Structure 1
Amino acid sequence: MQIAVDEEKCIGAGQCVMAAPHVFDQRDEDGVVVVLDSSPDEGGQTAARAAAAGCPVAAITVTGD
């Protein structure tokens, strides 16, 4: 699994953190998404995909298994 974030697109909505708190966090200074675990377990992979799908500006891309 590959997780990529586009920091320029991120608006700090926090949907990713709510969907996958073990995979994503936000920077304190501006709320931009941060990847905590780029190789999550199966449950984390499912949550990361849900987070990517729920991102209102499509700032998260998840590819591969």
Structure 2
Amino acid sequence: MTDSDARSPQQLSRFAEDLLLKLQDKFQALTDQLTSKLDEMGNGIDELQKNVTDLMVTAGIENNEEALQ
């Protein structure tokens, strides 16, 4: 390693700070995507539950959850 290859502590600190900021941005983007997908899944499950309930009513099957408890 020559003197020209050495980095000053300030340069290394700035490099580390930039790297951490990039990682934080990527992590936030992934978190946002995951949250969005989970919301979509939750909405899909709610819709499925509503459809099953509607089908049960149409078929004349009562919802006996209270009777089972």
TM-score range, shorter chain: under 0.3
TM-score by length of 2: 0.24
Answer 1 or 2: higher relative contact order, Cα 8 Å, separation at least 6.
1
Larger radius of gyration: 2
The structure with the greater share of residues assigned to strand is 1
TM-score by length of 1: 0.26
